[in-house]
Structure 1
Amino acid sequence: MANYQYVSHSPVIQHGQNLWQVHVKKSGIYTMQMKSMLDQLESVLTHYSQVLVLRFDIGIPYQTNDNRFIIAVMESFSGFIKQRYKMPIFGYHWTREQERAKKQHYHVVVILDANKVSYPSKINEFILEMGNTLAVRPWIPENCFYRFKRNEHDKKQGAIWRMSYLAKARGKGYKPPQTKNHGSSRVKPKQIK
């Protein structure tokens, strides 16, 4: 049986035929969570020739024993992407963290079709507007996105390094046992005919 709580301190992770550098810092990363993100990135890249990987954070107004705020954010975000960009398939991964604060916060990565979204300004506006509509505190970091084609290994490596922050071991686990530390899309690879 796989150990889903395994923490690696290795600066690289193998996924398929590739080795990727990851951001392990002092705490290490949860390997299964990292591999889940890599699976989604690779699956989305079978549907689109190039992707835009966007990173943002969500603060919430008070502590909860569930993930209701991030679920509402992802439902709202999904509706916006499908309606505005006519993009039925996109990937995402969120992670729940709580350290010194009395309430949790969330880190989010979304993987979008870069043929339809070349720059995320409108998406960032929508994310910030969710602060008003969903009573959350969105934050968009500097250099928040990466855009690359399937075969652009170096650019993909930059996005994977950034994504690996979500899998860090520090800050996880402050929750009831039935509540998830992270959630991910379930995009399946495109079948080649």
Structure 2
Amino acid sequence: KAQIEADLLKRKNAGKRIHPCRVRHIWAREFSRTGKKHYHVVLFLNREAYPYPGNYRSVNGEYSHNLALMIMEAWVRTLGLNHQQYYSLVEFPANCYYHLSKNSVDFNTQYASVTGRINYLAKEYSKDYSDGQRSFGCSQY
């Protein structure tokens, strides 16, 4: 969230047009069959501000400044690592973004695609509640 706010401020100060973007999220904590903990995160952003994540792979060791980079940086900072070598801990799945427009003639199809993808987070078999920690959370509106 802080990186989005800073990025929008930087764009504004550079004289570029900006669109408001309130970050909303859903997260789920899961365990693989071998017991390895991992997280899934869904971000809701204004598509006028961030229509695509951008390239999340380095080119000649350099990363482009885009949404994907901000996500990778946020995650490694959360883990207390702060090093580019750990960006690979963030995985961007195929079809990792969706556009949802309530005024689109395809809204129902878009909505079904988005909710179908989000429902993946609710699968029970990969959750473990025995440690007393939460396995699901979301931002508050």
TM-score (norm 1): 0.50
Q: Structure 2 vs 1, CA of residues 93 and 132 (structure 1 numbering), >3 Å: closer, same or farther? A: closer
| Segments of 4+ moved more than 6 angstroms | none
How many percent identity over aligned positions? 28
Q: Structure 2 vs 1, CA of residues 175 and 125 (structure 1 numbering), >3 Å: closer, same or farther? A: farther
**Which of the residues 98, 121, 126 maps onto 1:166?**
121
Name the SS for the 1:106 alignment partner: strand
Q: Unmatched 5+ residue regions in structure 1?
A: 1-77, 188-193
Q: Unmatched 5+ residue regions in structure 2?
A: 10-19, 55-65
What's the CA shift string for 1:42-89, capped at 9, x where partnerless? xxxxxxxxxxxxxxxxxxxxxxxxxxxxxxxxxxxx111222136462
TM-score (norm 2): 0.67
Q: Please, what is the CA RMSD of the aligned residues?
A: 2.1
Name the SS for the 1:85 alignment partner: helix
Work out which structure has the larger RCO, using CA pairs closer than 8 Å and 6 or more positions apart in sequence: 1
| CA distance, structure 2, for counterparts of residue 181 and residue 130 of structure 1 | 20
Higher strand proportion? 1
Any residues of structure 2 matched to 1:1-193 within 5 Å, and which? 78-85=1-8, 87=20, 89-121=22-54, 122-130=66-74, 133=77, 134=79, 135=81, 137-151=89-103, 152-177=107-132, 179-187=133-141
- Deviation of 1:92 after TM superposition, in Å, equals 0.4
User: What is the count of residue pairs matched by the alignment?
Assistant: 109
Name the SS for the 2:131 alignment partner: coil
